Structure 1
Amino acid sequence: MTSLNSHGVRFAFGTLTALPVHVSRWDREAARAGMLCAPLAGLVAGLLAAASGALLLLAGSGPLLAAVAAAALPAALTRGLHLDGLADTADGLGSARPAEDALRIMKQSDIGPFGVITLLFVLMAQVAALYELYGRGWEDGALGTVAAAVVARLALTLASRRGVPPARPEGLGAAVAGTVPLRAATAVACAVVAGCAGAGALLGGYGAVHHALAALAGLGAAQLMLRHCVRRFGGVTGDVFGALEETAATVALLALVLG
């Protein structure tokens, strides 16, 4: 079990970040363990992003630069993989083509107009939300950055649950689709939401409720996106996973701002 957990951590960091981690196993068991560890990869990425934003703010940069740094570092830590998946998924959904044609469009290396527009507005929304949070203080900004990153990767754990099919017979989607038992996915989700509530409690009593609701909002939006993509494409792909991650992160940040 310890060996499998180690392979799971490697799988999570090796596939969901650009950190130099060697994925030594690519079988279904390792994929299951890896997707259960996905929020851990989000925690590390979130802490690094939060540190960059908080340090800039404390150095006197102002909340806008802190927000840009906190949004840019997660993209750098994935080499833009999730943002690229978001853009490709937007192009596929926006094409209004049959599933096979839409999947072919998503696999192309270029980005179409739907992808460009989606990237623009999603990044603007993330930076605007982080600007508001860092404007309240480095604590609000840092906790929001970490919470959004963890919730974003938790969305991938839930998307890997049994019953969610792959859209293609190859790729990351096929490797992880249906690997996570529903009970295990639910347990991880409960732990992450409770962790978000605990972190939010550092900001006061309402902070706990606010962060928990923000986590649920992000997960709910990702689940709606997942259902739509499964209906539209017949299952999930690596690009869909990127879209789910960015959707969950963006909605969680917006919920933290609006509460």
Structure 2
Amino acid sequence: MRQIILDTETTGLEWKKGNRVVEIGCVELMERRPTGNTYHQYINPQREFEQGAAEVTGLSLEFLADKPLFADIADDFLAFIDGADLIIHNAAFDVGFLDNELSLLGERYGRLRDRVQVEDSLLMARQRFPGQRNSLDALCRRLGVDNAHRQLHGALLDAQLLCEVYLHMTAGQSEIGFGGDEPVQPASAVPVFAGAAQGIRPRVLISDIEMLAHEGRLAVLRKKSGDRCLWDAVAL
């Protein structure tokens, strides 16, 4: 059983408004165990970020200017995920963006679900923890997954964290080839993109000048969490 934990970063909240994918991160599992095989790619979106989106990811158009277009990486990306079960947090968001990117390349690429099965870990979390916040950060805290190094959103880092969250949430499930008495290798043991893991991109703080963009940042955070973000709790 091959599973791929997937996350994307984008220039904004809606692909229907012309927003594009700027980063893809994937972590591979075989028989519920991380293999160490990952996929990570920055992408030149050829358009501006929406207000707040760049601050949340720490990315900029200047950084992405020399990165490949989605058309340049599409075949390699599809080859990596082909035939796998994709695990995505708030899957409708990422699948919508990726299907849009594929559609821009022509009909021959089809849609993600032509190639893979998709499972939404956010829906799974809501079923297991009804009435609670089920953002990735909230699940990390609840399940004891160390996310102290997550200062910014990054596709590969978030996929790695989601990998460990997913394995915790499904640890009691019986699946073919998974020995329930054997310890699961934590996702934190898997080599990942050094920049994401070490948080080398600058941490962004909200100053007085940035307060006008504050609501834009919260909107992007809510997109990723599928729920209210931590700032909402502070404001109550």
Higher helix content, 1 or 2: 1
TM-score over 0.5 for the pair: no
**Which TM-score applies when normalising by structure 2?**
0.32
TM-score by length of 1: 0.30
